[in-house]
Amino acid sequence: MDDREPTIRSRTLGEGLRRAMESAGVSGKTVADRIGCSGAHISRLLSGKRGATVEDVTSILTICGIRKGAERSYLLSLCEDPHHPGWFQQHGSRLPKQMRVLVDSEDLTDHLVDFQPLIIPGLLQVADYARAVISKCVNVPADEVEDRVAARLARAEVLNRRNPASFEFFIHEWVLRSDVGSRAIMSEQMHHLLRLGVREHVSIGVIPAALGAYAGMSGPFMMLHFPRFRPIVYLESETSCLFLEQPEEIHAYRNVLGKLRETSLGEGQSRDLIAELATKLSADGGADDDQG
């Protein structure tokens, strides 16, 4: 079977099998010997370049001691048409506690672009802002709020790695001017943006409200680039999420990003606006101005 361009599903399956093997202390050579295939076949399967049959996955999981449970069912479900590009996931009214596919993609990306016209991007949120947003989601049970806040903050650790990817964020001005939670929370959030915005690998651009209509009004999205794979676009709604990776889909969102880059304030101007809002919030008693 010829190698194929890895898709988000085939990569997810490969990463899941790799984790299972590492946890069990099983090498690729051991798996290949037990299954009766070449080490190259296992390597391509783990990289997403080679489709995995149900028999392959069942055998590997059995060798790793995973004979039942949710993880086994999840990985076996990924065997269905793994090389079809794109991935639509329905999760009903309750999001999975771990958005594993997105988190894995954020771990692997070398350049991430996030456009948010309604809220501060999740990777940039402070705990109280995240708590204020998540607690207002009517489909999130109250006893899950803190777990989701912790998960969101854990995702943001990708910004703090020794050799981090580059991150590009676009935020609409009205997001910065909306008092989410309280003015004290917004003051903390503005100072956090200022601290992150001076990092070499983080770029924050503000879409000015004076523009009126602008590119991207169809909704928020995230584009992730990878060193060895095609880019993906991530979309999220109340009850589902969608990963896009067809070339024409990526091209369309690149067009939107091009316009956002043209019309947003530059990094310096964006930082000045955020600093102005942070100063005003502090002067109004939102918080002590000792964080920036």
Gap between the Cα atoms of 59 and 72, Å rounded: 11
What pLDDT is recorded for position 87?
A: 53
Residue 144, token pair as written in the block? 């899950």
Cα 168 from Cα 240, distance rounded (Å): 24
Q: How far apart are CA 238 and CA 276, in angstroms?
A: 33
What pLDDT does 292 receive?
37
Half-sphere exposure of 147 (CA within 13 A, CB side): 10
The end-to-end CA distance of the chain, in Å, is 57
**Can you list the residues of the chain whose pLDDT is less than 50?**
1, 88, 90-95, 97-98, 286-292
Structure tokens that stand for 166 in this block: 């580059």
Sheet holding 111-116, edge to edge: 87-90, 240-244, 232-236, 221-225, 111-116, 166-172, 202-207
Closest CA to 167 of 131, 124, 133: 124
Q: Is the whole model's pTM more than 0.85, yes or no?
A: no
Q: Rounded to the nearest 5 degrees, what angle is found at the Cα of 13, between the Cα atoms of 12 and 17?
A: 115
Q: What is the pLDDT of residue 9?
A: 75
pLDDT at 93: 47
- Amino acid residing at 202: V
Query: What pLDDT score was predicted for residue 86?
Result: 54
Angle at 124 between CA 205 and CA 120, to 5 degrees: 65
